[in-house]
Amino acid sequence: KDLAIAHPFKELEKLNCIAEKASLDECRICTDEGSRVTIPKGAGLPNVDTLLYIVKGKDSLCNVTIAAQELCAQEHTEDRPVAAFISICPNLFKYPRRFQTDVMVHEVCHALGVSIYLYPYLRKEDGTPQTARDPETNLPNLGMFGKDLYYS
């Protein structure tokens, strides 16, 4: 199994989304010359389907938003998110509680896969990919706009 790493927002790349190595499957970097393991397989976490980290937002992020989410890892065979984090900026707490709740629900939905970046990974009811896959990379066989956004 390989582990797919995604960084959909340029602002978040600086936040270093690194999950506990013991909780992840192995991570490989694939190039034209082949692939190499960059993080060895961990023992995993029993009875855990998705690992969600909640962190305080860095000042550079909090100057432009109140909260953000980043997907850290997807499960390789089913493409579902298995590790993500939500970065919360302190200025979120200046808003009414209902708004705070709405923002958190919004970010949790992204962490669980409701995201334009993950739509190409959706699966049919029988578990097969909704979009055709490249046989060499197992990535959606679509055009790419930028680093992480696919289009058809």
Q: Residues with catalytic annotation? A: 107
Q: Is 40 exposed, middle or buried (0-12, 13-18, 19+ CB in 10 A)?
A: exposed
The backbone torsions φ and ψ at residue 89, rounded to the nearest 5 degrees and listed phi first, read: -90, 140
> Among 29, 69, 28, which residue's Cα sits nearest to residue 50?
69
- 27-31 vs 51-56, strand pairing mode: unpaired
Annotated binding-site residue? 76: no
Annotated binding-site residue? 7: no
- CA 44, 127, 7, 16: dihedral to nearest 10 degrees? -10
The binding site comprises 106, 110
Question: Which residues line the annotated binding site for Zn(2+)?
Answer: 106, 110
